Amino acid sequence: MKNANTNTKMKKGLSEKSAKKRLIEFGYNEIPKKRATALYRLFKKVWSPIPWMIEAVAILSAIMRRWEDFTIIIILLFVNIFVDYFQESKALNALEALKKTLAKKTLVFRDGKFKEIEVKYLVPGDIIKLKIGDIVPADAKLIEGKYLEIDQSVLTGESLPVDKEVGDEVYSGSIVKIGEMLAEVTKTGMNTFFGKSAKLVGKAQQEEESHFQKAIIRVGNFLILFTASLAVLIMIFSILRHNSFLEDLQFILILIIASIPVALPTVLSVTMAIGAISIAKRKAIVTNLPAIEELAGVDILCSDKTGTLTQNRMSIGESVVYSQFTIKNLFSYAVLASSEENNDPIESPIFKYLENNFSDNDIDKCRQKKFIPFDPKRKRTEATIIDNEKEFVVAKGAPQVIKAMCEESIETKNFFDNVQKFADKGHRTLAVAVKNTGDTKFKCVGLISLFDPPRKDSKKIIRKVKKMGINIKMLTGDNHAIAVQIAKVLKIGANILDTSKFREKFSKKINTKSMALVESADGFSQVMPEDKYFIIDNLQKKNHLVAMTGDGVNDAPALQKADIGIAVSGATDVARAAADISLLAPGLMVIEHALKIARETFERMKGYAIFRIAETIRIILFITLSIIVFNFYPITAIMIIVLALLNDIPVMMIAYDNARIDDEPVRWNMREVLTVSTVLGVAGVISSFALFYWLQLQSYPILFIQTMLFVKLDVAGHSTLYLTRAGRYHFWHKPYPSLKFFLPAFGSRIIGTLIAVYGIFMTPIGWKFVGYMWLYAIVWWLLNDFIKVWTYKYLDNRKTK
């Protein structure tokens, strides 16, 4: 798409014929819909490691005509696929929400008259009319009229409306607060300022990759390689020994079913869903489940200032009065020089301050005879007031303008020193003056400073989040002085960078210098949407997990790019669609709770992942070595299926277990996960072979030995979960298991024991031998607990070296 060299004739505007030609040349004034087909996105869900494993087992089940297994496996596969597909579809709605925020129709001047057309048919060169309440439909240049007051906070993050006059640019998506002017369209569609935000949101979506998904893929890859290798070994030895190929194939099929973590994605998804429900009770909605896991590892929180850390409404700061005037006089005259019906964000707090602090004022006795509103050239408002037949004139506006209108009774240096003092604090200053009708000079009444105050809970939540090992960085479109002051008040830090200078220095190219500069900064001022994206990209390339809070269109690209996007209360639809978490209540206090829930949820998922890998190693390696070395099948095919059911179904309750909340951010350390699970798995194999050797020495029958080994594997399996849930600590350390988790897990061991005692599917062994097996399993369990803790200590020592 191109930018037009517009040269429209004002007398007639564009002709319809010319507009159609330009529409063909420049395209529709809309954000194009670029979305992969539903079929393609569904295909991607079935083309990854864990689905491959499940699909392979399903195919083998069909070949062997095991239709019950085939049906269950296919159901599990498609439930996982469609849940994932739904989550992805929701995320892609970010671009749709961007489109919905734009104006739908606008007044355009064509063929010598104004007509209303759909916004998407606007072309560069069109003349449009902008008036109060309008959403600017395209980037345009103001060409006729007095002035406009434009709210572009959702685009730039500026907390105050900006004044525009002839020759100035206005941006698509901003809102007209005051005034009426004609403008010539300069850019449409994706070439607009608004369109750049849409491009960045789309780019962020393409680059987005969950650390949770990476971890699952690595677990899947490990189990694929491990299981496939052992299956090949069994087949080789089966062929060499001239065993029945179909019988061995059937056994291997069952072995694969037991080893593949079919329930892994489901267990982890349920665990994250429980965390999301807990967060929802605190008025926050998680729209992307993997965000729970991502949030646990966040070590940097980038927060938008306006509307997030601050209240996005002006408040009265300090005031200064001159001569004989009082504070009451200052605010009374300021109100008389204002128009309440305009609902101007600068004037509203002045009205409120006077009403709250000086209820005995005599404003109601006064009448505005004439009112001249603010415009960018005069830089002041002015009103002629009648009070009991006494007439006087009041004015308020830019300090330098008001001072030039006043008598020389005030020392100039003192006046501008006060103005500078307020500016250094990031405050906006208004001067107020009054004169009697007929006088040539005004008398300066005083100065009023205004600022956007921090939210009441911002300072507290920043302190708490920092205690959790997370660094805070403030991003704002406001000027440098305002950013420095807010950062000082909230104790964010003193190193605030002016992004306009940063932008010029690096031209958006990421290198080691830009990454170091961004990483060391406490905040950034004068930030544009693409700057936020650039800042987050720098931090992510330094291996940080970044969360971003925001509320406006200008925040959408950064919210999408960040590992965790958090839309605050009152956020635009665009911000909510791009975010992973949406806050429903004002303030950020819920973020602290969400961080705790996320870290607790992560520990549950990590404990289950280690358990599941260890169990696979323990059972598959034991069976494989038994077949290869001793040509003995230690457990039957039906025992493997029962073990799989007893393991996977009850442990889903791990989602309700108590878990430790770490003091620092946590993320997947696959070296640690695989090492600990392998050590526990191999320890289990050793204990199983020790039992097998002793049982053979006693000359027990083969079927009896198989049942004894089944009980041992069942009891030891769930006992391992009690170890992995405790992480690097011993099992007796707090937090203890919850009853919702403990009872189902313990109950499944009882069921396994009863199956062995009463000979369901296998040879009965009696209570005496069951007691021996429980005692044996518990002894090894205690030993494994110390082995696990030593393994963690060994890994920690290696890390410090």
Residues with active-site annotation: 304
Q: Please say whether the beta carbons of 493 and 480 come within 8 A.
A: no
Dist. CA 315–CA 349, nearest whole Å: 6
Q: Which residues contact 761 (CB under 8 A, 6 or more apart)?
A: 638, 639, 642, 755
Q: Please say whether the beta carbons of 289 and 87 come within 8 A.
A: yes
Angle between helices 670-697 and 589-630 (to 10 degrees): 40
Dist. CA 244–CA 455, nearest whole Å: 75
Dist. CA 364–CA 68, nearest whole Å: 84
Dist. CA 141–CA 332, nearest whole Å: 38
Q: Please say whether the beta carbons of 73 and 58 come within 8 A.
A: yes
Render 240-297 in DSSP notation, one character per residue.
Answer: HTT--HHHHHHHHHHHHHHHS-TTHHHHHHHHHHHHHHHHHTTTEEESSTHHHHHHHT
**Residue 408: strand, helix, or coil:** coil
The bridge status of strand 443-451 relative to strand 315-321 is antiparallel
Tell me the sheet residues that pair with 546: 300
Dist. CA 88–CA 41, nearest whole Å: 9
Tokens of 637: 């095919």
The Cα-based distances of 476 to 305, 442, 466, 523 in angstroms read 5, 38, 20, 8
Tell me the sheet residues that pair with 129: 182
3-state helix, strand, coil in the chain (%, to 5): 55, 15, 30
How many helices (H) and strands (E) would you count in the chain?
28, 21
Tokens of 621: 């390696």
CB atoms within 10 A of CB 382: 19
Tokens 């014929």 -> residue: 17
Q: Please say whether the beta carbons of 59 and 71 come within 8 A.
A: no
Dist. CA 715–CA 750, nearest whole Å: 9
Dist. CA 407–CA 303, nearest whole Å: 46
Dist. CA 312–CA 160, nearest whole Å: 9
**Residue 200: strand, helix, or coil:** helix
The Cα-based distances of 108 to 57, 76, 137 in angstroms read 63, 56, 11
Phi-psi region of 153 (alpha: psi -120 to 50; beta: other; left: phi over 0): alpha
Tell me the sheet residues that pair with 150: 162, 176
Q: Please say whether the beta carbons of 614 and 684 come within 8 A.
A: yes
Strand ranges across the sheet with 366-372: 315-321, 443-451, 428-436, 390-397, 380-387, 366-372
The Cα-based distances of 551 to 135, 153, 300, 547, 558 in angstroms read 18, 10, 18, 14, 11
Dist. CA 436–CA 747, nearest whole Å: 91
Tell me the sheet residues that pair with 114: 109
Dist. CA 406–CA 409, nearest whole Å: 8
